[in-house]
Each structure stands twice: as C-alpha cells, then as structure tokens.
C-alpha cells in the first residue's frame, strides 16, 4: 500500500481524474472500511490497490465512489482529513488484532472479561456457542449480544466491533 504511488496516479490524471463528467472536487466522505488487505482498486484513479476504502459522495455524481486515501484527500480538498481517517482506521485494525490476546480476566463464574473503552465486556457460553455482554461503566447500561458466536474469539471481536463502531 503506497500513498506515494497514488499521488503519482492523481498527478498523471489516471482513471476518472481525466474523465469529463466526473467532478474532481467537492466530494464528501460518507463512510470508511478496512478490507483487511489490499483487495480492490481505487474507483477514482482506477490504479491504486487499496485496503482502506473511503466512500465518497458528490451531489453531481450518481454513485458513491470507493477510493484510496490520496484520491479521497484530493476529492474533498483536504488531504490531512483523509490521512487522519486512514490513520485511525489503521490504529483500530492494529488494536483489533491485539484484542483477543489481551489479558482477559476470568470471573467467579469462569467467564473471560475485560475492561476497555468505558465498558466491562464479558463473554460466556450460550447454547452451542458464545455470547457477549457489554456493561457501560458510567451509564451502567447492560447490552447483550443478540447473536451467538461459534468461537470465543468471534464473541470477543463482536464486542470490540461494537465498542469501536464509528469511533474509528
Ligand atoms: Zn486513487
């Protein structure tokens, strides 16, 4: 994943950068996604392989474009903003990777639990699988996962995704 390359693609007007009818500025980022590995091509320069996808919307364009960091920055006229988004996606990805192997404690009932990001998270066996409970440390509100998970790791990751949703 090279941002330098994508800068070159922007400069040399690859893909939609040279297509008429495609706005080149005034776009807005509406969502971001981590694909886990570079697995799609930027929808704007049509050249950069991307892992972190910025979903860009424009009032004068019919579709949402899924693009890389540098194209996104140029499209919205704020490279610092797209870089900050990507950096926070990366740090979330690294944190998620460490999550299941963090030092989970074992409760009196034998269930793994951890305190993080303002929640006490407990995973416990339910049915043939695992479920999780999130208790807000400040609010005291308790949420139970609606789903069952096949493995304890999946239950832990579901809790992580819940507490980090959209904060990335
Ligand atoms: Zn691009």
Q: Tell how far CA 91 is from the center of its chain.
A: 10
User: Is residue 10 scored above 60 in pLDDT?
Assistant: yes
- The alpha carbon of 31 and the centre of ligand 1 are apart by a number of angstroms equal to 16
**Segment 46-100, tens digit of pLDDT:** 999 999 999 999 999 999 999 999 999 999 999 999 999 999 999 999 999 999 9
Torsion of CA 153, 155, 158, 159, to 10 degrees: -110
- The alpha carbon of 36 and the centre of ligand 1 are apart by a number of angstroms equal to 18
pTM confidence score: 0.76
- The alpha carbon of 93 and the centre of ligand 1 are apart by a number of angstroms equal to 21
**Segment 52-63, tens digit of pLDDT:** 999 999 999 999
- The alpha carbon of 108 and the centre of ligand 1 are apart by a number of angstroms equal to 52
Q: What is the 3-state secondary structure (H, E, C) of the chain?
A: CCHHHHHHHHHCCCHHHHCCCCCCCCCEEEEEEECCCCCEECCCCCCCEECEEEEEECCCCCCCEEECHHHHHHHHCCHHHHHHHHHHHHHHHHHHHHHCCCCCEECCCCCEEEEECCEEEEEEEECCEEEEEEEECCCCCEEECCCCECCHHHHHHHHHHHHHCCCC
Q: Identify which of 35, 44, 47 has the alpha carbon closest to the alpha carbon of residue 2.
A: 47
**Which pLDDT does position 164 carry in this prediction?**
83
User: Is residue 3 scored above 80 in pLDDT?
Assistant: no
- The alpha carbon of 77 and the centre of ligand 1 are apart by a number of angstroms equal to 14
Rounded to whole angstroms, the Cα distance separating 61 from 54 reads 16
């Amino acid at each position: 994943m090279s941002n330098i390359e994508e800068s070159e693609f922007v400069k040399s007007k690859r893909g939609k950068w040279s297509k008429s009818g495609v706005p080149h500025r005034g776009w807005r980022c509406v969502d971001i996604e981590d694909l886990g590995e570079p697995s799609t091509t930027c929808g704007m320069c049509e050249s950069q392989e991307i892992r972190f996808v910025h979903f860009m919307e424009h009032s004068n364009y019919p579709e949402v474009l899924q693009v890389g960091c540098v194209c996104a920055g140029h499209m919205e006229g704020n490279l610092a903003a797209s870089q900050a988004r990507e950096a926070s996606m990366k740090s979330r990805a690294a944190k998620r990777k460490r999550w299941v192997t963090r030092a989970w404690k074992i409760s009196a009932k034998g269930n793994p639990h951890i305190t993080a990001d303002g929640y006490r998270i407990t995973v416990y066996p339910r049915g043939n699988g695992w479920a999780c409970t999130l208790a807000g440390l400040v609010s005291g509100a308790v949420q139970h996962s609606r789903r069952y998970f096949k493995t304890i790791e999946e239950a832990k990751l579901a809790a992580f995704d819940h507490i980090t949703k959209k904060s990335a």
